[in-house]
Amino acid sequence: MMATLSQTKELFRRAEAVCFDVDSTVIKEEGIDELAKTRKAMGGSMTFKTALTERLSIIRCSREQVNKLITDHPPQLTPGIRELVERLHQRNIKVFLISGGFRCIVEHVATQLNIPLHHVYANRLKFYFNGEYAGFDESQPTAESGGKGKVISMLKEQYGFKTVVMIGDGATDLEACPPASAFIGFGGNVIRAQVKEKSSWYVTSFGELLKELEKI
């Protein structure tokens, strides 16, 4: 049963950990979340891992190309995220980034937000010693459908968290609750109707979350 609006707000105020999706939530861009569209085009018959494998085998990006992408098009942070993460850290709330995107890009984002790199869960690209694309690490939970929920279950077990809140724009974020205690839908970059409809608390700016924290 999805928590009510007031329950969700209360769970957010007393959360021990807050997990953010990255593409279209923490950063403005879509990035590899285009994969979801690839899957939709296939009538949803394709697993996330298959779509990821197919898409990457088309792109076949080298290490050099990935580094160039980060240098030439650094991910743009969504307004308000820096302040929100800072406030959560001040309150001793652990912050995690959980993404179906790539670790090399997500780590760059984490560094900007002072989020420890061991709090980053994303897909790892593999390269040969000469820098050519060699596939991706299929053992990461984020390479699977339902991977975000798996990461949250793992965090609860590892750290003993009772209250974990997931914040994101997409269906895969919504699906992570449960095991997340609550879900907050974010529509500051893109509004996905099905997520908005199913979220008991849906915000379009991080300022709304900051305001809620001030009530403590």
Of 30 and 191, which is predicted with more confidence?
A: 191
Instruction: Give the pLDDT confidence score for residue 89 in this predicted structure.
Output: 93
Nearest CA to 164 among 27, 117, 151, 114? 151
Q: Which residue has the higher pLDDT, 25 or 115?
A: 115
Per-residue pLDDT tens for 11-56? 888 999 999 988 888 888 765 544 445 445 545 566 667 777 777 7
- pLDDT score recorded for residue 40: 54
Mean pLDDT computed over every residue of the chain:
82
State the Cα–Cα distance between residues 172 and 36, nearest whole angstrom. 10
Catalytic choice (23, 33, 169, 173):
23
Residue 67 has pLDDT above 80, yes or no: no
Residue 160, pLDDT score: 92
Q: Which residues contact 125 (CB under 8 A, 6 or more apart)?
A: 56, 61, 63, 66, 102, 103, 104, 133, 135, 136, 137
- In the residue annotation, 173 being an active-site residue is answered as no
pLDDT at 35: 46
21 flagged as catalytic: yes
Among 44-58, 142-156, 183-197, the minimum mean pLDDT is found in 44-58
**pLDDT > 90: percent of the chain:** 25
